[in-house]
Amino acid sequence: MKTLYFDCFAGVSGDMILGAMVAVGVEPNELKNRLQLLGIQGYELSFEQVDRSGISCVHARVKTQHEQVHRHLSDIIGIIDKSALSDAVKKRATKTFTRLAEAEARVHNQPIEKIHFHEVGALDAIVDVVGAAICFDLLGIEQFICSPLHVGSGTVDMEHGRFPVPPPAVAALLEDAPIYSTDIKGELVTPTGAAIIKSVCNSFGPLPAMKLSSSGYGAGTRTYERFPNALRVLIGEAISRESDESLMMIETNLDDMPAQYFGHVMDRAFKLDALDCYFTPIQMKKNRPGVLLSILCRPEHREALLQMLFEETTTLGVRTYEVQRRALERKTERVETAYGGIDVKVARLNGSVINQMPEYEQCREAAVRCGVPLRIVEDAVRAALLKQRA
């Protein structure tokens, strides 16, 4: 799966993304030709090679004519829909603008259709967002992952006053994303950059396992001493994280232990870092019914679990043997529903989602709290997942 990793050690903006895309292989003239399909005038897009703290970067520059009009979200979507761009580009650009508009509306506590979108309606934002969508399409990116975002520090002057970094719209856009601040002064993450990242990235974290094919840097406008103000992008084929691991299986047969003890043993096993614990009905010698108690664990937890079994059960002997396990890459994602936030365990094979399961206890608590059937909550979670991945 072709994967793009945003390394936002110096934040991110729309022009930094465009510059990084050219740095990793997008042909500038091809991008400009595709942008002409929008059918809008009044801007000039250029690229130049610049130095940022000794690193060669591509700086994208969007020059626009002064505009008197403030476009609304419906105006932007109309421009995109009427264009000759591909459906994939239209969908991605529309999703980005919608996220940006929703954040602005939330900050100003206004309906989305009544907001004057200074950022959304600007020509440079249109070029940045649609240009980024075109680049992703040209490169054939299938999966997007982002590092924690460096947002900067200090304050920024805006139309409504001076605000702390990250400013309100950026803070709203980056909810559920990992962010951090250092002593670097200034606004490192712009609303346009944040909206693009949140509209394409399904996961945030460290650099994933991949066979790297290209890397490049998109320059920010400001320069700092000994701090490269640039966005690094790495592209490659995702490498499956699925691999075999050696584990220990601990077993013992029990036919003389009170039934109520089994639950206590299971609880203790999981507190001692057991990976799994389960009971199987068996038929033992002298035709007595019994229980096979099985515990799966990592080798380093074997001794503690053996001691617990000798202390807590009636066994006189325990068997252990090595087993091989192959586990899918798993990650927990959170979705918002009408019944509250719910975690979903997502499993991937070779980078593709093949299973996703809402956390049962959270769904059950939400169902009880809201007075609705459990299946209604689970259906809402799955619907939210589909919308989130759209």
From CA 134, how far away is CA 59, in angstroms rounded? 18
Cβ(248)–Cβ(320) below 8 Å: yes
Torsion of CA 40, 41, 42, 47, to 10 degrees: 80
Is the predicted pLDDT of residue 12 greater than 70, yes or no? yes
H helix or E strand, kind and range, residue 293: strand 289-297
Give tens-digit pLDDT for 229-239.
Answer: 999 999 998 87
The predicted structure's pLDDT at residue 119: 47
CA nearest to 293, candidates 245, 255, 323: 255
What are the beta bridge partners of residue 238? 210
Question: What is the strand order of the sheet 210-219 is part of?
Answer: 43-52, 55-64, 210-219, 230-238, 2-7, 143-146, 203-204
Highest mean pLDDT among 112-121, 234-243, 249-258: 249-258
What domains can be seen in the chain, in order of their start residue? 2-238 (no CATH), 244-326 (3.30.70.1380), 329-389 (3.10.20.300)
H-assigned helices in the chain: 14-23, 28-35, 73-82, 87-108, 123-139, 168-173, 191-200, 259-271, 302-312, 360-370, 374-389
- CA–CA dist 387, 127 (Å, integer): 26
Q: What are phi and psi of 208, to 5 degrees?
A: -75, 165
pLDDT given at position 229: 96
Q: What is the pLDDT of residue 117?
A: 56
Query: Phi and psi at residue 188, in whole multiples of 5°?
Result: -90, -25
* Residue 28 predicted with pLDDT over 60: yes
Which residue carries 């919308």 as its tokens? 387
Q: Report CA torsion sign: 364, 366, 372, 377.
A: negative
pLDDT for 389 beyond 80: no
Report the chain's mean pLDDT, rounded to a whole number. 90
- Give me the phi and psi of 239, to 5 degrees please: -100, 130
Least confident of 97-106, 249-258, 311-320: 97-106
CA distances from 44 to 84, 155, 255 (A): 20, 30, 81
Q: What is the pLDDT of residues 193-243, one digit of tens each?
A: 999 999 999 789 899 888 999 999 999 999 998 899 999 999 998 876 556
Instruction: Give the range among 27-36, 144-153, 350-359, 368-377 with minimum mean pLDDT.
Output: 350-359
- Contact by Cβ (8 Å): 318, 271: no
Question: What pTM was computed for the model?
Answer: 0.64
In tens, the pLDDT along 304-347 reads 999 999 999 999 999 999 999 988 887 888 889 999 999 998 88
